[in-house]
Amino acid sequence: MNPPDILELKKIVGEENLRDSKADLYVYGADASVYEGKAFVVVKPRTIPAVQELMAYADKNSIPVIPRGSGSGMCGQTVPVKGGIVLDMKGLNRILEVNVNDAYCRVEPGVVDDDLNRALSPHGFFYPPTPASSRIATIGGEIGNNASGTRSVKYGAARDSVLGMKVVLANGDCVNLGSRTRVASSGYPLERLMIGSEGTLAVIVEATLKFVPLPKFRCMGIANFNKLEQAGDAISEIIASGCSPSMLELIDKVAITAVNQSMNLGLPDVEAILLFEADGMVMEAVDFEIEKAREICAAHQGSGIEVSYDAKERERIFAGRKKLFPALSRYREYLASTSLADDMAVPFSRMADTARKIHETADKHGIIMTAYGHCGAGCMHTKILMDTTKGAQWEAAREAIAEIYEHVRSVDGTTSAEHGIGMSKAPAFKQEKHDLLDLMRSVKKAFDPKGILNPGKLMDAPDDWMSAARLRYVTQEGKDA
Amino acid sequence: MLEFKRLKAWEIALNSCIRCGYCYEHCPIYRATGWESDAPRGKLIILHGLLHRRIGLTTDTGSKVFQCLGCGQCEKACSSGVPLLDIFQDARADIMDTGIEVKGTLAETDPQKCVACLNCLRVCPHEARYFQDGIVLTDPVKCRGCGSCVDTCSAGAIKFETALAADRGLIEDQIREFVENHKNDKKLVVFSCNWSTYPGLQHARFSAQENAEKEREPYKLFVTACAGRLPMELPLKALELGAHGVLVVHCPSDQCDHEGADRAKARITRLRNFLSQAGMDPERVRTAEAPRLDTKAFSSAVSDFLRYLGSPGKKAATGDSV
Ligand SMILES: Cc1cc2nc3c(=O)[nH]c(=O)nc-3n(C[C@H](O)[C@H](O)[C@H](O)COP(=O)(O)OP(=O)(O)OC[C@H]3O[C@@H](n4cnc5c(N)ncnc54)[C@H](O)[C@@H]3O)c2cc1C
């Protein structure tokens, strides 16, 4: 792959929208994953024609292009493993239209999720996929990863909120995909192909999104379970009962210990906590959902059940979940909280045994893993807490991850619920989708014949995640992990 | 030989950064430039790279950590409890030990002009000024770029290469672009103190946007280190470039650790007098007080001003330039 002509790029985007100093390139080589890479140059296009020109130039010269939102992806999606041009899409960050009558909005890809929701809320609406990282995640990145969040159990993932989009293809052509209507029946739904494609098919330059009314009432509840399996049974029964929670979150023992240790929140010493929420326009309807969830939790030996409509109380109830990340980072001073085997989805009925499997596997290999997540959507998250300075811990992590994903496949789960594949989850992804890899590569070739868009990711990532790119951590021996 | 002795002690903390980027929205430098390499996460990544010799120490890589106003908003927002301020401070000391030249949001003394009155030494709240060889210099490790020294210097010997969070040229370019994009609008440029309205800023932006019923922002916002540090030329320059109004938002006097509120008010009063004398509407330049985290004060000051600029018959609405 060739290095680009910087002068040529400056002509396209303008001098102030290009950076290529060592410091800039090092930073843009990283994201929220365990990896580091090095781009040739970072550019911040501010118009669609600039994106088109950049792509035409890169295609002609066979230079890799890595579209990037805020780089909060956890699996190395935006790490430039083959050099290339990083397209910082945050320069295209306008909310173009909020069309209440037709119930859609049009945004540029660099708009941050929270900003979009701030713009929608005065109209009485919200954009629901909202990941936990919504203060930084861009709409382009959410589409790239098919992001979802705590409320996806009721409102779905990015895939369920995108009506259409404008994309720039590898050769620089700009095309419109999808529509602005709620229904659109004929032809291949190519806009859907973009969702979860991790920047490998085209550059999204505009998205048409639907939004939903902000509920008038939200009620949150909490229940503690002595056994993980009791919580697991409660989850699948809540879903099976036809109840429609707007949030159903699981927190495991490791996470509880972490939160209590570092923040002194006084969570009970149990194996699992479930948080549930219902929302709606009519209080009786919300009451109905909450009552049902409460009854089911109680039937499965849930204790300490509390529910509240009060905003402050809801905040207090949710505090344990909210403080999870900092708590895990502070679990033990020498342990880093790494984004490895960070997410997966399993059927509701397999939530508990998957969490159990994660704990047992971690114990077996001498690492610490937590299991938590948006379990109402079937989503399970983990973090691996390990001493990243020890080579042996990395080997242990490698084996544990392989075993955990083998379990996920065995229960008909899938490799990623929402964080995506990038490089760190590629081995598991490729095993799961083994019969689709050629088909996926053909699709990629149809969009991007020269393979310039985010190369080395998804089905094209190496089989060994540890050597797929340089790891950010350094071992005691002074070697890269 | 580069040792990074102090930084080495922070190795575990650097590893504990999960690189989530939750610090971005709180950083005035990132807000001003929009480049991830200027954000706190970017700085931690660079320090990690320097410590492990994955990137070499140069003026470019070493300077990033000196482009910081020490406001500490990143540390408060950090999802992993990383003590960013202490890390930055130690990294600055290590980098200065190597003797390389650094550039940043630091006060600079013009040796030709300094008369060694030592006033700046007395007023600097960070003990960042010291006397050496007949002039007063800045200790880059300690300087927080608050600008107290600039104001007190009667010889006009102290300046900031980067007058605000971003560099001066960039600010002027952004004002130009804003004016160009709002040809038919009332154009308001807002300089807002980092310590007062921030971080409620994003909120305020949208409430004001809603009031003005505009698809695009009706005003351009710059976050300053301390309102007291805003040189008079910048509001004037904004008017010259075509802004209809300039608003300077500062903390209440009793909340300001830098006497910045009083300095800002005094400076804007002088500017208003100047405008009057020049036959222009002095109301085109205003100050507003916004207590910490009070987003309402900020947005109502912006909305009031926009209303004023838009009201028919006002000189300001015609867009006459200085
Ligand atoms: C602390 C933390 C919590 C998180 N919580 C969640 C969560 O609850 N749910 C969840 O789903 N994720 C979560 N994530 C992961 C991540 O933040 C989200 O997936 C987010 O949507 C990524 O947005 P981004 O702007 O950072 O995208 P990036 O990481 O920059 O990019 C993500 C992918 O999209 C592609 N892309 C970006 N912009 C474009 C474009 N314009 N055109 C084409 N491709 C593009 C990139 O190439 C990349 O493959 C979390 C991450 C962190 C660090």
Record: contact A118-B206, CB cut-off 8 A: yes
User: What is the CA(A142)–ligand 1 centre distance, in A?
Assistant: 5
CA distance A91 to chain B (A): 8
Residues 6+ apart with CB under 8 A from A442: none
Residues 6+ apart with CB under 8 A from A427: A402, A405, A463, A464, A465
Closest by Cβ to A22, choosing from B25, B61, B170: B61
Nearest-CA residue for ligand 1 atom 9 is: A131
pLDDT single digits (tens) A319-334? 888 888 878 888 888 8
Give pLDDT, residue B208.
44
B20 CB near ligand 1 (under 6 Å): yes
pTM recorded for the entire structure: 0.89
How would residue B214 be classed by pLDDT, with cut points 50, 70 and 90?
very low
A432 in Cβ contact with A417 (< 8 Å):
no
A130 CB near ligand 1 (under 6 Å): no
Q: How far apart are CA B13 and CA B10, in angstroms?
A: 5
How would residue A37 be classed by pLDDT, with cut points 50, 70 and 90?
very high
A68 CB near ligand 1 (under 6 Å): yes
Q: Which amino acid is at A47?
A: T
How would residue B199 be classed by pLDDT, with cut points 50, 70 and 90?
very low
3-state helix, strand, coil in chain B (%, to 5): 45, 10, 40
Range B124-151 average pLDDT: 88
pLDDT single digits (tens) A100-127? 999 999 999 999 998 899 889 889 999 9
Give pLDDT, residue B178.
86
User: What is the CA(A145)–ligand 1 centre distance, in A?
Assistant: 6
Range B148-167 average pLDDT: 73
Which is more confident, A5 or B251? A5
A158 CB near ligand 1 (under 6 Å): no
Give pLDDT, residue A171.
98
The tally of CA atoms less than 13 A away on the side-chain side of residue A411 is 21
How high is the mean pLDDT of chain B?
A: 82
Nearest-CA residue for ligand 1 atom 27 is: A141
Give pLDDT, residue B293.
61
Check pLDDT > 70 for residue A63. yes
Q: Are strands B129-132 and B135-138 parallel, antiparallel or unpaired?
A: antiparallel
Give pLDDT, residue B206.
44
Check pLDDT > 70 for residue B311. no
B29 in Cβ contact with B36 (< 8 Å):
no
Give pLDDT, residue B118.
93
Give pLDDT, residue B30.
86
Residue from A44, A133, A161, A370 whose mutation best tests the ligand 1 pocket (most atoms within 8 A of CB): A133
Is B36 an interface residue toward A (CB < 8 Å)?
yes
Nearest-CA residue for ligand 1 atom 32 is: A141
Give pLDDT, residue B210.
44
Range B34-46 average pLDDT: 96
Record: contact B36-A71, CB cut-off 8 A: yes
Residue from A34, A145, A146, A424 whose mutation best tests the ligand 1 pocket (most atoms within 8 A of CB): A145
Range B37-54 average pLDDT: 96
Closest by Cβ to B18, choosing from A32, A95, A118: A32
Range A203-224 average pLDDT: 97
Range A153-178 average pLDDT: 97
Which residues in chain B (62-91) have CB-CB distances under 8 A to chain A?
63-64, 78-81
First-to-last C-alpha distance (Å) of chain B: 55
CA distance B53 to chain A (A): 10
How would residue A478 be classed by pLDDT, with cut points 50, 70 and 90?
low
Give pLDDT, residue B31.
78
Q: How far apart are CA A302 and CA B310, in angstroms?
A: 60
pLDDT single digits (tens) B271-289? 999 999 999 999 999 999 8
- Inter-chain CB pairs, A–B, below 8 Å: 118
Structure tokens at A95: 């909310």
How much of chain B, in percent, has pLDDT values that exceed 70? 84
Which is more confident, B251 or A366? A366
How much of chain A, in percent, has pLDDT values that exceed 90? 88
Closest by CA to B225, choosing from B150, B296, B293, B144, is B144
How would residue B295 be classed by pLDDT, with cut points 50, 70 and 90?
low
How much of chain B, in percent, has pLDDT values that exceed 90? 43
Mutate to test the interface with A, among B37, B47, B57, B67 (most CBs of A within 10 A): B37
Record: contact A133-B20, CB cut-off 8 A: yes
Closest by CA to A238, choosing from A283, A298, A282, A319, is A298
Q: How far apart are CA A301 and CA A299, in angstroms?
A: 6
User: What is the CA(B22)–ligand 1 centre distance, in A?
Assistant: 13
Is B210 an interface residue toward A (CB < 8 Å)?
yes
Angstrom CA distances, A258 to A192, A341, B11, stand at: 39, 19, 21
Angstrom CA distances, A108 to A70, A97, A208, stand at: 14, 10, 9
Which is more confident, A447 or B202? A447
Closest by Cβ to B79, choosing from A326, A333, A473: A326
Mutate to test the interface with B, among A38, A95, A135, A387 (most CBs of B within 10 A): A135
Query: What is the interface pTM, i.e. ipTM, of the complex?
Result: 0.95
Nearest-CA residue for ligand 1 atom 49 is: A198
Give pLDDT, residue B205.
44
Q: Which residue in chain B is spatially nearest to A388 when comparing CA positions? A: B15
How high is the mean pLDDT of chain A?
A: 94
Check pLDDT > 90 for residue A340. yes
Nearest ligand 1 atom to alpha carbon A139: 25
Check pLDDT > 90 for residue A146. yes
